[in-house]
Amino acid sequence: MRIGELAERAGTTTRTLRYYESRGLLTARRTDQGHRTYDEDDLRLLQQIRTLQDFGFELEETRPFVDCLRAGHPAGDSCPASIAVYRRKLTELDGLIDQLQAVRAHLGAQLLRAEAELPHGPEPRCELDMTEAEGTTK
């Protein structure tokens, strides 16, 4: 298939495919006229890359999965290098979750403090009555 068809089937752009090619993640074969051609294996590679990127993986982090598929494995994550990337990503996510939980706890404490300091009388009036401010009466 040509580059436009592959881009359409993969849900991406030809520009993205050329970029992946420049990064060595996608390899095009050329026709006698110099047109790029691809096959179903290339579509599988792209689907793997897109799925991983949808999960927050950087483009370079997808390389071991692509290499695994190129080596003939049935899935991009059935190689030791791919499993290592999964482990690193999970550690990264655990760190981010810890940070978010700490921020949440801090904000919760701030909210409780702010609520405790509220006056218990009637709500202060925040609106400015323009007739009073101008010194006029109705």
Q: pLDDT digit of tens for each residue in the chain (138 aa)? A: 999 999 999 999 999 999 999 999 999 899 899 888 999 999 999 999 999 999 999 999 999 999 999 999 989 999 999 999 999 999 999 999 999 999 999 999 999 999 888 877 566 666 665 555 555 555
| Residue 48, pLDDT score | 93
| Residue 8, pLDDT score | 94
* Count of structural domains, the chain: 1
**pTM, entire model:** 0.72
Q: Has residue 7 been placed in a domain?
A: yes
Contact 17, 1 (CB under 8 A): no
CATH number of the domain encompassing residue 61 = 1.10.1660.10
Q: Has residue 134 been placed in a domain?
A: no
List the domain range (segments joined by +) for residue 15.
Answer: 3-115
Residues 6+ apart with CB under 8 A from 39: 1
C-alpha 54/C-alpha 128 separation (Å) is 49
Q: Has residue 58 been placed in a domain?
A: yes
Q: Has residue 135 been placed in a domain?
A: no
Q: Has residue 109 been placed in a domain?
A: yes
Q: Has residue 132 been placed in a domain?
A: no
Q: Has residue 122 been placed in a domain?
A: no
| Residue 119, pLDDT score | 79
Q: Has residue 108 been placed in a domain?
A: yes
| Residue 120, pLDDT score | 73
Residue 85 to residues 21, 76, 129, Cα–Cα distance (Å): 22, 11, 62
Contact 89, 57 (CB under 8 A): yes
